[in-house]
């Protein structure tokens, strides 16, 4: 589908009262929101690996997920990894008993591979999976059997949670859909609810999502538009903030997080389009390097500092200045 056609459909749906329902129906008919356990388990495995790389474990942890979406893969992965509790919130109530069941059932054959990927005991993970009440008659009951609470519509910038009550704030494919001022408020709230030493762990896609449907453009395509022009294409159900990776990092830094992992992926086709000037960059993007503009994925982990005892300051090594407060 031409990307402008998809943008037009999403724009019209965003404007009408039943638009979100119609969008869900269209996704069902097109099969585009079908459970994809292999892909989605790989994504939650990445978040769990980032926690491990930061020297921590999901076992016994309390998680807060921003942007639950249609299928509870992230809560399922965290539960299988031994999380004590997972609170997941979304502004849109996409998840239902049917989509949650579909995700959990479709996951079964992928459990051993998931366990191996994140270094978990397969028998323990299988036992945890077996405890999930697939026959539950409500979504809340089903999710409760995997230690999960779902809040939608929920506000990740005003959670009402106790300060310092969460070990890990996580998200997958969400941060690019949140306007910068709201993302700042959510990041400050994450900082407030995290325990000292707790982690904010995210993977997200700063590239133009229309490139997934229209092969004639690259993930850099949207960088040619002014904010006013982009409003025609990237608002409502199709909202994308077009922020580049350093801007996300800056929001976390300003909230007080110490960066432990900041990694991005370069889209070579996007880089080519920028370098051979097949798209003309809008002035808003001219101060970024070509590589920053062509990044189509980012993985970020930030840590809330642990207050240090000033009478006994930690040792700081030259090689690892980022870990000074761990
Ligand atoms: C692309 S979906 C990803 C869903 C899920 N994390 C996944 O990986 O399948 C983005 C989700 O973020 C949600 N979202 C957007 N803005 C949000 C906000 N301010 N707070 C919480 N969720 C939000 C959307 O409703 C949507 O469900």
State the alpha helices, DSSP H only, in the chain. Answer: 3-15, 19-30, 37-53, 73-80, 97-107, 111-117, 122-130, 139-144, 180-193, 227-233, 245-255, 268-275, 290-293
Q: Residue 131 contacts by C-beta under 8 Å, 6 or more apart in sequence?
A: 145, 146
220/223 Cα distance (integer angstroms): 6
| pLDDT value at residue 318 | 44
Query: How do residues 146-182 score in pLDDT, each as one tens digit?
Result: 999 999 999 999 999 999 999 999 999 999 999 999 9
Residue range 270-318, pLDDT digits in tens: 999 999 999 999 999 999 999 999 999 999 999 999 998 766 654 544 4
Query: Which pLDDT belongs to residue 257?
Result: 98
Sheet with 166-172, strands from edge to edge, namely: 148-151, 85-89, 62-66, 166-172, 194-204, 295-303, 258-266
C-alpha angle with apex 120: 136 to 130, nearest 5 degrees? 20
What is this structure's pTM?
0.91
In the CATH scheme, what is the code of domain 3-13+22-304?
3.40.50.150
Tokens read off for 149: 């609470």
Q: Considering only CA atoms, which of 51, 257, 64, 60 is closest in space to residue 158?
A: 64
Determine the Cα–Cα distance for residues 246 and 133; give it in Å rounded to an integer: 43
pLDDT at 106: 95
Question: 90 CA to middle of ligand 1, Å?
Answer: 6
Closest protein CA for atom 9 of ligand 1 = 69
Distance, CA 186 to ligand 1 centroid (Å)?
A: 13
Q: Which atom of ligand 1 is nearest to the CA of 66?
A: 21
- The helices-and-strands tally (H runs, E runs) of the chain is 13, 7
Domain residue spans of the chain:
3-13+22-304
Nearest residue by C-alpha to atom 13 in ligand 1: 67
Q: What is the DSSP secondary structure assignment for residue 214, as one 8-state letter?
A: -
Among protein residues, the one whose CA lies closest to atom 11 of ligand 1 = 67
The count of other CB atoms within 10 Å of the CB of residue 2 is 12
CA of 319 to the centre of ligand 1 (A): 37
Q: Residues enclosing ligand 1, CB less than 6 A?
A: 66-67, 69, 89-92, 94, 156, 172-174, 177-178, 182
Please determine, for residue 212, whether its predicted confidence score (pLDDT) is greater than 80: yes
Q: Once rounded to an integer, what is the mean pLDDT over residues 27-42?
A: 84
User: pLDDT (tens digit, 9 = 90+) per residue, 75-87?
Assistant: 999 999 999 999 9
Point out which residues pair with 259 in neighbouring strands: 302
Say how far apart CA 177 and CA 68 lie, in whole Å. Answer: 13
* Ligand 1 center–CA 116 separation, angstroms: 28
């Amino acid at each position: 589908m031409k990307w402008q056609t998809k943008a037009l459909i999403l724009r019209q749906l965003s404007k009408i009262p039943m638009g979100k329902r119609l969008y869900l129906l269209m996704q069902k008919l097109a099969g585009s929101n079908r459970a994809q356990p292999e892909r989605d388990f790989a994504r939650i495995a990445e978040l769990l690996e980032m926690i491990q790389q930061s020297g921590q474990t999901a076992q016994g942890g309390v998680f807060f997920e921003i942007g639950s979406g249609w299928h509870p893969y992230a809560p399922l992965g965290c539960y299988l990894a031994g999380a004590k509790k997972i609170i997941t919130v979304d502004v849109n109530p996409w998840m239902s008993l049917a989509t949650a069941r579909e995700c959990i059932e479709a996951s079964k054959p992928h459990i051993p591979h998931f366990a191996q990927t994140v270094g978990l005991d397969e028998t323990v993970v299988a036992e945890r999976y077996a405890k999930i009440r697939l026959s539950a008659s409500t979504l809340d009951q089903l999710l409760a059997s995997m230690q999960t609470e779902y809040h939608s519509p929920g506000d990740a910038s005003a959670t009402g949670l106790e300060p310092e009550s969460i070990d890990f704030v996580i998200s997958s494919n969400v941060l690019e859909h949140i306007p910068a001022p709201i993302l700042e408020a959510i990041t400050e709230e994450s900082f407030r609810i995290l325990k000292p030493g707790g982690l904010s762990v995210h993977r997200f896609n700063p590239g133009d999502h229309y490139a997934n449907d229209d092969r004639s453009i690259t993930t850099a395509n949207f960088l040619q538009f002014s904010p006013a022009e982009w409003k025609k294409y990237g608002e409502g159900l199709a909202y994308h903030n077009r922020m580049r990776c350093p801007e996300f990092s800056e929001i976390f830094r300003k909230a007080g997080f110490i960066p432990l992992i900041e990694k991005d992926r370069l889209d070579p086709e996007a880089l080519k389009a920028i370098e051979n000037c097949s798209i003309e960059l809008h002035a808003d993007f001219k101060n970024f390097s070509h590589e920053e503009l062509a990044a189509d994925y980012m993985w970020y982990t930030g840590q809330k500092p642990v207050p240090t005892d000033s009478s006994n300051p930690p040792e700081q090594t030259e090689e690892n200045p980022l870990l000074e407060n761990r």
